[in-house]
Amino acid sequence: MNLLQDLRVSGLPVLEQSTLDLEIAELESLRIRTELMLALRLYIQERHWTLDEAAQAFRQSSPRMQNLINGEISRFSVEDLIQLLTKAGLTVQMSVQT
The per-residue DSSP string of 29-61 comes to: HHHHHHHHHHHHHHHHHHTT--HHHHHHHHT--
The predicted-structure confidence for 27-78, as pLDDT tens digits, reads as follows: 999 999 999 999 999 999 999 999 999 999 999 999 999 999 999 999 999 9
Domain positions in the chain are 23-88
Domain covering 23-88 in this structure, CATH number: 1.10.260.40
For residues 16 and 1, what is the distance between their CA atoms, to the nearest angstrom?
A: 17
pTM: 0.76
